[in-house]
Amino acid sequence: MKVVIQRVSKASVVIENIKVAEISNGLLVLLGIVDDDTQSDINWLSNKIVNLRIFGDDEGVMNKSLLDSNGNVIVVSQFTLHAATKKGNRPSYIKAAKPDVAIPLYKAFVKQLELDLGKPVQTGQFGADMKVELLNDGPVTIIIDSKNKE
């Protein structure tokens, strides 16, 4: 399981001209899933995201977590995070999990994130053509892969 986390002042997701998610001050989490991802990956990644100290404290030092700052979250599925680009110029997405595997893991990730965060998490729609808009705060962008825990 791989995520790209962006600290945002605001973010939104639009599908077919309808805004389906919108937050201020929090994280936009782009989530890529592979076939061998498990609940263990979900638990580890969710815990890492809510406790990652990337929000400013009173002195402006990145010392507060999402929990400390009462931030909000939007999770967007993004199979392209697992693109293989070694050969040729057309990315291969063979590593990305197919919907029958990815959708249950995506839903479980959102549910775990809500439990760890203690409040609802907004989402895009799995497989939809989404327009994601964000104002990256910092900018702060972090990539985390649950397969690289050690």
Q: Which residues are catalytic?
A: 78-80
Determine the Cα–Cα distance for residues 148 and 22; give it in Å rounded to an integer.
31
Rg (CA), the chain: 15
Determine the Cα–Cα distance for residues 25 and 71; give it in Å rounded to an integer.
6
Q: How much of the chain is in helix, strand and coil states, percent to nearest 5? A: 30, 40, 30
Q: Could you tell me the two tokens for 110?
A: 């959102």
Of 30, 14, 12, the C-alpha closest to 22 is 12
Chain-centroid distance, C-alpha 78: 9
Assess contact for 50 and 117: CB atoms under 8 A. yes
